A and B are shown apart, each in its own frame.
With several copies, the nearest count.
Chain A
Amino acid sequence: MSEKKIKKVFIEGAISPSCIADSIAKHSTKKDIGAHSIFLGQVRNDVINDKEVKAIEYTAYNEMAEEKFHEIRETAFEKYSLTCMHIYHSLGRVNSGEISLFVFTSSKHRKDAMEVCSYIVNRIKEEAPVWGKEIFEDESYIWKQNTP
C-alpha cells in the first residue's frame, strides 16, 4: 500500500440524519463556500416476486473499495473546482427507509458542487466493490442489481 492518507468511508449500519446535519454544520466556518450538493441513497422497499424488501445488507471488498474511493476523490478534486468533499457508505444491515450512501460536495459556485456530486455518485455505483443483499420479511434474500 502506498502511504497516502485514506479517509474512512464505511460506517456500520444506516447513516443518521443527525450525522448529516453535523457534517453540514461543520462547514459554516468555511466561508468561501457558496454551494453544497448532497446525494443520499435510501433503501427502497421494492416488491420482488410478491415479497417486500425489509433491508439491504451491504458487504464490500474493503481494501479495494477504500482505494477506489480515494482515487475517485483525487480525480474529483483534479477535474472540478471543489472546496470539500465527503463520502460515507454503510456496511451491514440498513432497513428500508434508512440512508446507506451520503455524498457531500462543496464549492464556491453551484455548478461545480452539483456536477461533481453527480460524477462521484455515478462512479461509486459503477466502480466501488460493494454488494447489497436485499432481505425480505422471511429473511430470504436476493443479491441486488443496480440500475445503470
Chain B
Amino acid sequence: MKMKILAFGIIADITGKSEWTIENIQHTDELKKHLENLFPRLKNMKYAIAVNLLITNGNFELTDGTTVALMPPFSGG
C-alpha cells in the first residue's frame, strides 16, 4: 500500500521536500503522528489535509494509490 504525499508552503520548507511516497499508514491521524515525529515543528503548525483533492474533516482512512496533500493556511490573491 503506497500513498503519495504532497507538501505546500511552509510545510514543504519544514519537511524539506514537496513530494514523496509513504507506505503502510492506515489513516490520516496516523500519518500526522508519523510526520510530527519526523518533523517536530509540524506539531505547532495549523494545516489541512486533503485526500484525493478533498479536504478531510477528522480522521480519514487511507487506501492504496491515494494522494495526500499537507496544506498550511491559504494566502492567494
Interface presence of A67 (CB below 8 A): yes
Q: A61-B69, A61-B71 are in contact. Are A41 and B77 (CB under 8 A)?
A: yes
A125: chain B residues at CB < 8 Å are: 74, 76-77
Flag whether B57 is at the interface (Cβ < 8 A): no
How many residues does chain B have at the interface if contact means C-beta atoms less than 8 Å apart? Answer: 15
| Residues on A with beta carbons closer than 8 Å to the beta carbon of B8 | 59, 61, 129, 131
Interface majority SS (helix, strand, loop, mixed), chain A: mixed
Q: Is A89 an interface residue (CB 8 A)?
A: yes
**Residues on the B chain within 8 Å of A85, using CB:** none
CB-defined interface of B54-77 with A at 8 Å, one 1/0 digit per residue? 000000000000000101111111
- Does chain A have a CB within 8 A of B40? no
Residue numbers in A under 8 Å from B10 (CB-CB):
131, 143
Chain B residues, Cβ within 8 Å of A63 = 53
Nearest CB in chain A to that of B53: its residue: A64
- Compute the total of residue contacts between A and B using a CB distance below 8 Å: 65
B31 proximal to A (CB < 8 A): no
- Over the window 7-27 of chain B, the binary record of Cβ atoms lying under 8 Å from chain A Cβ atoms (1 yes, 0 no) is 011100100000000000000
Q: Report Cα–Cα, A128/B71, bound state, in Å.
A: 11
Q: Which residue of B lies closest to A130 (CB)?
A: B76
Shortest Cβ distance from residue B21 to the other chain A in the assembled complex, whole angstroms: 17
**List of 9 A-B pairs having minimum Cβ-Cβ separation, nearest first:** A130-B76, A131-B9, A144-B75, A132-B75, A101-B77, A143-B10, A41-B77, A125-B77, A64-B53
Residues on A close to B: CB < 8 A?
Answer: 41, 58-61, 63-64, 67, 89, 100-101, 110, 121, 124-133, 143-146
Give the interface of B toward A (CB within 8 A): 6, 8-10, 13, 50, 53, 69, 71-77
Beyond known contacts A89-B77, A101-B77, A128-B74: 11 more, CB 8 A cutoff? A41-B77, A61-B8, A101-B76, A124-B76, A129-B8, A131-B8, A132-B76, A143-B9, A143-B13, A146-B76, A146-B77
